[in-house]
Amino acid sequence: MSSMSDNTSENINDNEAPLRRLNGRLQACDQCRARKVACDHTRPVCTRCLKRNQASECTYTVGAVLQPRRRVRRQKAKVANTTLNPVDLRPANGLGSPSSGYMGFTSHAPVYEQTKRSLSLLQGQGPDAGPSPSFSVDRATPRLAFNQLPHLVRHMSIYVLEALPGQSNEQIVFNHEAGQRNGWRQDALARITRSVQELLEKNPDGTGPDLERIAEMICNNSAQPFPDIDDPHRWMSQFCDTSSLRWESIGLIWEGLERLGDVVTALWPSRIQWLPGKASQDVSRTYMTYCVDLARHFCEGNPLLLDLHRCRTTLLSMVDGDAAGSCWYSHGADVAMMTFMGLHALDQETPYMPTLCSEHRRRVVAQIFYTDKWCVAFSGRPPLIHRRFCKTPLPLDLADEDLVADEATLRKAVSELDDRGWNTKGQIYPATLIRARRMLASTLEEVMEIALSCVVCITLDELRNIQTRELETFAALPAHLQYSPHLLLDPELDTVSVYARMLLRLSHLQTMFLLERLLLLNGSLDEGNLLLFSFEMLTLTLALWTHKDRFADMRRNFEWLLIAHAAPAGGILCLELLNPTFTGKHPGDARITRSSIIQNLSLLVGFLDWVRPSAPNGDLCMDCKVIIQRVLDYTLNGSLDGNSPRAALAFDFPEPLDFNFELLDTFDWLHTDI
């Protein structure tokens, strides 16, 4: 017995419940496992060891399976000895061992899957005889008491719950009468808020609720698997019902408050409202970050958590700015989680019958993909996901109402799509804009690949071919996604429709603008096309500001639109004023005259001045405003000292302007090295 007492730190105690392996089988004793014979798992000594007179050597060593009690002790020790940051929380993954995640073609997994299928066929079984034990996901997740969780997890959990309605630090209220649209996000949010209200309801004696008990339940729910389910209501029940709330569910409350799901639903009324005097995007960022970190502590990733993480990145871009490190790092985590889960490599099913679950995954992938391309164009940083490695099909242009409806309604909606997957009703759904922007992002990535390449080896014909494909892609979009200036003159037209068309048009113009700059940099003859694209891009962006009452709900995007579209276009128009290339009216567009350029640049100065200096992109907007003002002063007043235009503009300028935005930096003519 001395040998057993020496190994108490490694062996399982006799009075503890028998452990099971990842495949669900009971753990064998060390002797039977070494001899590769069956063990009856009797404690403290199995029958086979008794018969062999080896009772003293019959041990049950913890090997591939971790003991829950010992894992808790390790967690406590870690928290006691280390000061943790919320972003450094290590996922517990329910069992304490991280999942391997998606394993692609170059890994060992495909080889062993092929071997397993061959073995099954040789043994007379079907190729799908059953899942490999090592990849089983049906194992039970041990439940932990709240006081067994790390201190930081407990602190964050209570802090998040205390901000909900009726609690000690309440920040928001739920308004179930506000939501008039029936997108799946709105349905899910309504169910979540009702479930939260039930949990937080006070006891009849006026006490409660017990936040520790509620937090314990949410933590244990967050550690449960999140399987794909075809039925939309059962799929939502995994995170919407009172007994199944997860930390992702609480995070969706803050996502709904800030309306971060997509561009279309951002214009719909929200079911969540701030308490008077509490409104703050910084507060939303804090609570969304806590919810994401808590969810990541209990699981490696799931589509719902990935969607919440993506929404958090959107919020960071609005709070800190699109060029900020926090936004870029968060976007990098989005891409990492997406590829870890293998959502970038979803196969095209034939025949494919969409479900809310499958379409949600496709939409999230598409949103992360096109966000990556806009970030690259804005910052000049290399992309984090390449189109050649992202083979997930486009989402279908289906209404959310159809995805949550019965099977017959969904099949009817699918049958009414055209052969390319677009709806034929002329409606703009959340999926419509996601699908269109994903398509346009592929061409933009080709442009960025050329612009940011270390070795520039491109011909003018190749660039023109890309231009042709971009024109064809944009022209192939349905008619109800094409923009026309008369849309702004129709006050009865849906604001969502107008804004969606303007965004798509701006995306197309940006790609054409960058391609034209590449053509000129590679020696193409200047035919005035760059000025045409710049003028239209500027006037279209200014239309959002001149109609800002109509687009009030989207004002938070104005700063990004200014820097991404209006500022580069303004730089080209400034150059045209300093070095005219035509007289009278422009031969390609009669609207473009010296007077119209000055008028639009004056409006741009007002738009830039509207941005607060303390705003995330306020310093960039201020620099643009100062230069454009000097160009207008020089153009209208003339040079006071007779020097060159650039010398007059550079006089008394504090420092050289340098956006470091590659092709978007059209003010490079003011740099000191020029």
Q: 3-state DSSP call for residue 638?
A: coil
In this structure, what is the dihedral angle of CA atoms 351, 353, 359, 365, given to the nearest 10 degrees?
A: -10
Burial of 286 (0-12, 13-18, 19+ CB in 10 A): middle
Q: Which residues make Cβ contacts (< 8 Å) with residue 84, sequence separation at least 6?
A: 150, 152
The residue type found at 667 is F
Other beta carbons less than 10 A from residue 162's beta carbon: 13
d(CA 92, CA 298): 5
pLDDT of residue 63: 42
N- to C-terminal Cα separation, the chain: 85
Looking at the domain 21-58, which fold is it?
Answer: CD2-Gal4 (4.10.240)
d(CA 128, CA 116): 9
- 666's tokens: 């059209």
Domain spans of the chain, in order of start: 21-58, 146-335, 342-525, 539-673
* Mean pLDDT per 10-residue segment, the chain (674 residues): 40 49 65 74 78 74 41 35 43 47 75 71 56 41 84 95 94 76 85 94 82 95 93 95 96 94 84 92 96 95 96 92 89 96 91 95 97 89 92 95 94 95 94 96 92 80 95 96 90 88 95 94 90 96 90 84 90 92 90 94 93 82 89 81 49 46 58 48
- Sign, CA torsion 605/606/609/610: negative
d(CA 32, CA 41): 10
d(CA 223, CA 92): 8
On the CB side of 79, CA atoms within 13 Å amount to 17
How many helices (H) and strands (E) would you count in the chain? 25, 4
The residue type found at 164 is L
Burial of 204 (0-12, 13-18, 19+ CB in 10 A): exposed
Residue closest to 441 by CA, chosen among 370, 506, 524, 505: 370
Q: 3-state DSSP call for residue 20?
A: strand
The angle at the Cα of 400, spanning 310 to 303, to the nearest 5 degrees, equals 30
For tokens 């506000």, name the residue: 178
The residue type found at 137 is V
Model pLDDT for residues 84-124, shown as the tens digit of each residue: 444 445 554 443 344 578 877 777 777 777 777 777 677 66
Complete DSSP assignment for 109-173: HHHHHHHHHHHHHHTT--TTS---GGG---PPPPP--GGGS-HHHHHHHHHHHTTSTTSTT--EE
- 87's tokens: 């972003």
Cα 575 from chain centre: 37
- 243's tokens: 């007994």
Mutual angle of helices 151-161 and 211-222, in 10-degree steps: 110
Q: Which residues make Cβ contacts (< 8 Å) with residue 483, sequence separation at least 6?
A: 501, 502, 504, 505, 540
The residue type found at 136 is S
Can you list the alpha helix ranges (DSSP code H) found in 209-324? 211-222, 232-240, 247-258, 281-298, 303-319
Q: β-strand 172-174 against 272-274: which pairing, if any? A: antiparallel
Residue closest to 296 by CA, chosen among 357, 223, 235, 233: 223
Q: What are phi and psi of 585, to 5 degrees?
A: -100, 145
Mutual angle of helices 618-637 and 567-578, in 10-degree steps: 20
pLDDT of residue 396: 97
DSSP state of 7: T
- 588's tokens: 């390609």
d(CA 301, CA 292): 10
Residue closest to 547 by CA, chosen among 477, 463, 485, 594: 485
Q: Which residues make Cβ contacts (< 8 Å) with residue 428, sequence separation at least 6?
A: 264, 480, 481, 494, 496, 497, 500
pLDDT of residue 129: 45
Q: Residue 529: which H helix or E strand, with range?
A: helix 529-546
Q: β-strand 589-593 against 585-586: which pairing, if any? A: antiparallel
Secondary-structure percent of the chain, ordered helix, strand, coil, rounded to 5: 55, 5, 40
Contact between 348 and 415 (Cβ < 8 Å): no
On the CB side of 670, CA atoms within 13 Å amount to 27
DSSP state of 435: H
d(CA 554, CA 139): 46
For tokens 């014979």, name the residue: 37
Residue closest to 132 by CA, chosen among 36, 40, 24, 228: 24
Other beta carbons less than 10 A from residue 202's beta carbon: 10
The residue type found at 196 is V
Model pLDDT for residues 192-232, shown as the tens digit of each residue: 999 999 999 988 777 779 999 999 999 999 999 999 999 99
For tokens 């603008």, name the residue: 513
- 247's tokens: 């930390």
Q: Residue 434: which H helix or E strand, with range?
A: helix 430-451
